[in-house]
Amino acid sequence: QKEVEQNSGPLSVPEGAIASLNCTYSDRGSQSFFWYRQYSGKSPELIMSIYSNGDKEDGRFTAQLNKASQYVSLLIRDSQPSDSATYLCAVNRDDKIIFGKGTRLHILP
């Protein structure tokens, strides 16, 4: 089992709809969870971090964590064309950060 698993996509979502991105991880000891966004040809940038079970909201973004199921998700409300990018899930393994392969999201105008 890969350490951090994501569906590679592409995930196509109409503009204005909710985009739902999912991630599972294998290390039950992981405590820190992150979503990074990467535009084509650019470097990743952090958009959300979450450390406790439940939901964390920041503007149009909501991160959800379920440690029992080893599952992290990212919801993007009112999707905009500018949200089209690859979304990388990342978790800590000990003191370092490991990334999944990313999900390509395409917002349809």
Partner 1 sequence: GAGVSQSPSNKVTEKGKDVELRCDPISGHTALYWYRQSLGQGLEFLIYFQGNSAPDKSGLPSDRFSAERTGGSVSTLTIQRTQQEDSAVYLCASSRTGALGTGELFFGEGSRLTVL
Residues that bind partner 1 (CB under 8 A): 6, 31-32, 34, 36, 43-46, 49, 88, 92-102
CB of residue 14 to partner 1, shortest distance in Å: 24
β-strand partners of 7: none
In terms of Cα–Cα distance, which of 37, 39, 80, 74 is closest to 58?
Answer: 74
Nearer to partner 1, 20 or 92 (CB): 92
| Residue closer to partner 1 (CB basis): 71 or 99 | 99
C-alpha distance from residue 60 to each of 18, 23, 35, 70 (Å): 9, 19, 14, 24
**Shortest gap between Cβ of 38 and partner 1 (angstroms)?**
9
Q: 75 vs 97, which CB is nearer to partner 1? A: 97
Residue 94 structure tokens: 């000990």
